[in-house]
Homo-oligomer: A and B are copies of this chain.
Amino acid sequence: MALQKEELFLKNKNIKPTAMRLLVLQYLFSCEEAVSLNQVEEALPNADKSTIFRSLKTFEEFGVVHSIREATLTKYALCKTCTAEVHTDKHPHFHCNKCDSTICLSHILLPQIQLPEHFKLQEQEYLIHGICDKCNAIA
């Protein structure tokens, strides 16, 4: 059946591949950019928002997606190389102020910041705001 790829994917991550999760994952695979909870909900009109929310939360926990906190809203994008134990797929994100799309700058490494003495780094969120290539082309 059509969902086999997603099913295997979830099993490999030790996530029970339920119908809802497969739908959410399938949608995420179809997205080129990070999407918000609302966007997923709109894409899956019959799905309950809190169920989607919990699917995304599970996905994040098991290293399937990473979340990006924008001004008021959280977006989610598929991880390339993360596992539940180690979130290795770290990169800056770009938010277009015109079309509000959020793009993973996967090819750009997070800079090595030299923290002050006795500070311990755990995670980094680097969000760059500006105008994306498409909007620049229009303007």
Known interface pairs A108-B113, A128-B115; A120-B136 also in contact (CB < 8 Å) = yes
Q: How many copies does the complex hold?
A: 2
> Of B94, B121, B122, B126, which one neighbours A126 at CB under 8 angstroms?
B126
Number of A interface residues in the complex (CB < 8 A): 32
Known interface pairs A69-B71, A136-B118; A124-B125 also in contact (CB < 8 Å) = no
- In the bound assembly, the distance between CA atoms of A97 and B124 in angstroms comes to 12
Known interface pairs A124-B128, A127-B125; A137-B118 also in contact (CB < 8 Å) = yes
Contact B117 A108 (CB under 8 A): no
Q: Which residue of B lies closest to A107 (CB)?
A: B116
Contact A120 B130 (CB under 8 A): yes
Chain B residues contacting A17 (CB-CB under 8 Å) are none
Contact A124 B131 (CB under 8 A): no
Extra inter-chain contacts (9) besides given A118-B136, A125-B126, A125-B128, CB under 8 Å: A94-B115, A105-B116, A118-B132, A118-B137, A120-B131, A123-B129, A124-B127, A126-B127, A127-B127
